Amino acid sequence: MSRSIHVLNGPNLNRLGRREPAIYGHTTLAEVEAMCRDAAGETGIVFHQTNYEGQLVDWIHEAIDLPAAGIIINPAGLTFTSIPVLDALKMFPGPLIELHISNIHKREAIYHRSLVSTAATAVIAGLGAKGYATAVRAMLELLD
């Protein structure tokens, strides 16, 4: 099995650092990617962001077919609405960490029900952008 960890990001995360900094902070997606690579050490990271549901599904399929060692996914708004993303994630045989920068459970009620959580091995929420590095370290432990 490949030792690569796929870090997949959904809609609007390309706007990190500028989008609602009171909720999401000032860290950019490029800085998040660098944090993930640093935390991974020798383990390969495949890092993607898209604003399109179908592209996210295609990257999950890619992770299945390679196969990737694990997936860390921040599906953003698709967390709460996307059956196609959920169905694709349910096909992934390895560990899956759902990640959110904010604590979705402290936010408006629309953000309280994650479809993705039903397929996830673990969920990390509310640690800000640093949650990504935490997720990579947790994934490495799950893979050992």
Q: Where are the alpha helices (DSSP H) in 66-105?
A: 83-90
**Does the annotation flag 45 for ligand binding?**
no
Report pLDDT for 82: 97
Q: State yes or no: 124 annotated in a binding site.
A: no
- Based on its alpha-carbon atoms, the radius of gyration of the chain, rounded to whole angstroms, reads 14
What CA–CA distance (Å, rounded) separates 83 from 118? 11
pLDDT digits (tens, 9 = 90+) for 68-82: 999 999 999 999 999
Other CB atoms within 10 A of residue 37 CB: 16
| Residue 1 vs residues 12, 49, 93: alpha-carbon distances, Å | 31, 24, 11
Alpha carbon distance 94, 76 (integer Å): 21
What confidence tens digit (pLDDT) does each residue in 116-135 have? 999 999 999 999 999 999 99
Which stretches of the chain score pLDDT less than 70? Answer: 1-2
- How high is the pLDDT of residue 108? 82
pLDDT at 1: 46
Does 14 show up as a binding residue in the annotation? no
What architecture does CATH give domain 5-143? 3-Layer(aba) Sandwich (3.40)
Cα–Cα distance measured from residue 84 to residue 56, given in angstroms and rounded to the nearest whole number: 9
Token code pair at residue 134: 């935490």
Residue 102 counted as an annotated binding residue = yes
**Both structure tokens of 62:** 């890619």
Token pair in block for residue 12: 């609007």
* Predicted local distance difference test score (pLDDT) of residue 2: 61
Residues 6+ apart with CB under 8 A from 65: none
Domain boundaries in the chain? 5-143
Question: Which residues are known to be catalytic?
Answer: 24, 100
In this prediction, residue 107 carries a pLDDT of 84
